[in-house]
A and B are shown apart, each in its own frame.
Chain A
Amino acid sequence: MTKQVVPLDRVIIRFAGDSGDGMQLTGDRFTSETATFGNDLSTLPNFPAEIRAPAGTLAGVSSFQLHFASRDIMTPGDAPNVLVAMNPAALKANIADVPRGGSIIVNTDEFTKRALQKVGYESNPIEDGSLDSFHVHPIALTSMTVEALKEFDVSKKDAERSKNMFALGLLCWLYNRPTDGTVEFLNQKFGKKPDILAANLAAFKAGHAFGETTEDFAVSYEVKPAPMDAGTYRNITGNTALSYGLIAAGELSGLPVYLGAYPITPASDILHELSKHKQFGVVTFQAEDEIAGIGAALGASFGGALAITTTSGPGIALKSETIGLAVSMELPLVVIDIQRGGPSTGLPTKTEQSDLLQAMFGRNGEAPVPVVAPRSPVDCFDAAIEACRIATKYRTPVFLLSDGYLANGSEPWALPNVEDLPDLHVDFSTEPNHTLADGTEVFWPFKRDPETLARPWAVPGTAGLEHRLGGIEKADGSGNISYDPANHDFMVRIRQAKVDGIANDIEPLEVDDPTGDADVLVLGWGSTYGPIGAGCRRVRESGLKVAQAHFRHVNPFPANTEEVLKRYKKVLIPEMNLGQLVMLVRSKYLVDAISYNQVRGLPFKAEELAGVIEDVIKSV
Chain B
Amino acid sequence: MSETSQFPSLALVPSADGPQSAKEFKSDQEVRWCPGCGDYAILAAVQGFMPELGLKRENIVWVSGIGCSSRFPYYMNTFGLHTIHGRAPAIATGLSTSRADLSVWVVTGDGDALSIGGNHLIHAMRRNVNLKILLFNNRIYGLTKGQYSPTSEQGKVTKSTPMGSLDYPFNPVSLALGAEATFVARTMDSDRQHLTSVLRAAAEHDGTALVEIYQNCPIFNDGAFDALKDGDEKEQHIIRLEHGQPITFGRERENGVIRAADGSIQVAAVAEVGLDNVLVHDAHAADPGLAFALSRLSNPDNLDQTPMGIFRSIERPTYDTLLRDQVAKSKASGKADLAALIAGNDTWTIN
In the bound complex, how far is the Cα of B29 from the Cα of A470, in angstroms? Answer: 14
CB-CB under 8 A for A471 and B84, given A35-B348, A36-B346, A283-B327: yes
In the bound complex, how far is the Cα of B338 from the Cα of A415, in angstroms? Answer: 11
Which residues of A sit under 8 angstroms from B341, Cβ to Cβ?
244, 247, 277, 280
A401 at interface (Cβ–Cβ under 8 A)? no
B163 at interface (Cβ–Cβ under 8 A)? no
1/0 per position for B58-79, CB-CB distance to A under 8 A?
1111010010000001101111
Of the residues B66, B323, B346, contact of A32 by C-beta under 8 Å: B346
* Pairwise interchain contact B326-A234, C-beta atoms closer than 8 A: no
Known contacts A292-B123, A299-B96, A481-B29; 14 additional CB pairs below 8 A are A248-B342, A256-B98, A283-B98, A285-B94, A285-B323, A287-B123, A292-B90, A295-B94, A303-B95, A304-B99, A416-B342, A460-B61, A466-B79, A470-B82
Which residues of B sit under 8 angstroms from A233, Cβ to Cβ?
347-350
In the bound complex, how far is the Cα of B91 from the Cα of A463, in angstroms? Answer: 22
B97 at interface (Cβ–Cβ under 8 A)? yes
CB-CB under 8 A for A295 and B90, given A415-B347, A418-B338, A468-B81: yes
B93 at interface (Cβ–Cβ under 8 A)? yes
1/0 per position for A444-468, CB-CB distance to B under 8 A?
0000000000000000111111111
B312 at interface (Cβ–Cβ under 8 A)? no
Residue from A277, A280, A329 whose CB has the most chain B CB atoms within 10 Å? A280
Stretch at the interface among A115-123, A224-232, A585-593, A607-615: A224-232
* Pairwise interchain contact B84-A468, C-beta atoms closer than 8 A: no
Which residues from 526 to 570 on chain A have a C-beta closer than 8 Å to any C-beta of chain B? none
A188 (CB) vs chain B CBs: closest residue: B345
* Pairwise interchain contact B336-A281, C-beta atoms closer than 8 A: yes
Which residues of A sit under 8 angstroms from B87, Cβ to Cβ?
291-292, 295, 321-322
In the bound complex, how far is the Cα of B95 from the Cα of A471, in angstroms? Answer: 17
CB-CB under 8 A for A296 and B327, given A232-B349, A460-B58, A466-B78: no
* Pairwise interchain contact B342-A251, C-beta atoms closer than 8 A: no
Contacts from B to A (Cβ < 8 Å): 14, 27, 29, 56-61, 63, 66, 73-74, 76-84, 87, 90-99, 101-102, 119-120, 123, 323, 326-327, 329-331, 333-336, 338-339, 341-344, 346-351
Which residues of A sit under 8 angstroms from B61, Cβ to Cβ?
302, 460
A298 at interface (Cβ–Cβ under 8 A)? yes
Contacts from A to B (Cβ < 8 Å): 32, 35-36, 38, 181, 228-236, 244, 247-248, 251, 256, 258, 260, 277-283, 285, 287-289, 291-292, 295-305, 307, 321-322, 325, 329, 381, 415-416, 418, 460-472, 480-481
Of the residues A32, A230, A285, A460, contact of B97 by C-beta under 8 Å: A285
Of the residues B74, B97, B331, contact of A300 by C-beta under 8 Å: B97
In the bound complex, how far is the Cα of B92 from the Cα of A463, in angstroms? Answer: 20
* Pairwise interchain contact A296-B58, C-beta atoms closer than 8 A: no
Which residues of B sit under 8 angstroms from A322, Cβ to Cβ?
84, 87
Which residues of A sit under 8 angstroms from B329, Cβ to Cβ?
278
In the bound complex, how far is the Cα of B94 from the Cα of A283, in angstroms? Answer: 10
Which residues of B sit under 8 angstroms from A278, Cβ to Cβ?
326-327, 329-331, 334
CB distance from A36 to the nearest CB of B (A): 5
User: What are 21 residue pairs bridging A and B, where the CB atoms are less than 8 Å apart in the complex?
Assistant: A35-B348, A38-B350, A232-B347, A233-B350, A251-B338, A258-B98, A279-B336, A280-B336, A281-B331, A295-B87, A295-B94, A296-B90, A296-B93, A297-B94, A302-B79, A302-B95, A304-B99, A460-B58, A461-B14, A466-B58, A470-B73
CB distance from B332 to the nearest CB of A (A): 8
Which residues of A sit under 8 angstroms from B84, Cβ to Cβ?
321-322, 325, 471
CB distance from B56 to the nearest CB of A (A): 7
CB distance from B315 to the nearest CB of A (A): 23
Which residues of A sit under 8 angstroms from B98, Cβ to Cβ?
256, 258, 283, 299-300, 303-305
In the bound complex, how far is the Cα of B1 from the Cα of A393, in angstroms? Answer: 30
CB distance from B70 to the nearest CB of A (A): 9
CB distance from A502 to the nearest CB of B (A): 25
B32 (CB) vs chain A CBs: closest residue: A481
Of the residues A277, A283, A415, A470, contact of B323 by C-beta under 8 Å: A283
Which residues of A sit under 8 angstroms from B56, Cβ to Cβ?
461, 463
Which residues of B sit under 8 angstroms from A463, Cβ to Cβ?
56-58
* Pairwise interchain contact A234-B343, C-beta atoms closer than 8 A: yes
* Pairwise interchain contact A283-B97, C-beta atoms closer than 8 A: yes
In the bound complex, how far is the Cα of B96 from the Cα of A476, in angstroms? Answer: 29
CB distance from A436 to the nearest CB of B (A): 11
What 8 A-B pairs have minimum CB-CB distances, sorted nearest first? Answer: A299-B94, A470-B82, A296-B94, A295-B90, A278-B330, A279-B334, A292-B90, A468-B80
Which residues of B sit under 8 angstroms from A287, Cβ to Cβ?
90, 123
* Pairwise interchain contact A279-B333, C-beta atoms closer than 8 A: yes
In the bound complex, how far is the Cα of B93 from the Cα of A381, in angstroms? Answer: 28
A282 (CB) vs chain B CBs: closest residue: B327
Which residues of A sit under 8 angstroms from B351, Cβ to Cβ?
230
* Pairwise interchain contact B349-A471, C-beta atoms closer than 8 A: no
* Pairwise interchain contact A296-B91, C-beta atoms closer than 8 A: yes
In the bound complex, how far is the Cα of B335 from the Cα of A281, in angstroms? Answer: 11
CB-CB under 8 A for A229 and B350, given A288-B123, A470-B82: yes
B77 (CB) vs chain A CBs: closest residue: A466
Which residues of A sit under 8 angstroms from B83, Cβ to Cβ?
295, 298, 325, 470-471
CB-CB under 8 A for A480 and B336, given A35-B348, A288-B120, A292-B87: no
Of the residues B59, B77, B102, B342, contact of A244 by C-beta under 8 Å: B342
CB-CB under 8 A for A299 and B78, given A234-B346, A278-B330, A461-B58: no
Which residues of A sit under 8 angstroms from B91, Cβ to Cβ?
295-296, 298-299, 302
A295 (CB) vs chain B CBs: closest residue: B90
CB distance from A588 to the nearest CB of B (A): 30
In the bound complex, how far is the Cα of B166 from the Cα of A315, in angstroms? Answer: 32
CB distance from A375 to the nearest CB of B (A): 19
Residue from B96, B98, B333 whose CB has the most chain A CB atoms within 10 Å? B98
Of the residues B78, B119, B326, B344, contact of A292 by C-beta under 8 Å: B119
* Pairwise interchain contact B82-A480, C-beta atoms closer than 8 A: no
Of the residues A256, A288, A470, contact of B81 by C-beta under 8 Å: A470
Of the residues A38, A291, A295, A472, contact of B348 by C-beta under 8 Å: A38
* Pairwise interchain contact A466-B94, C-beta atoms closer than 8 A: no
Which residues of A sit under 8 angstroms from B123, Cβ to Cβ?
287-288, 292
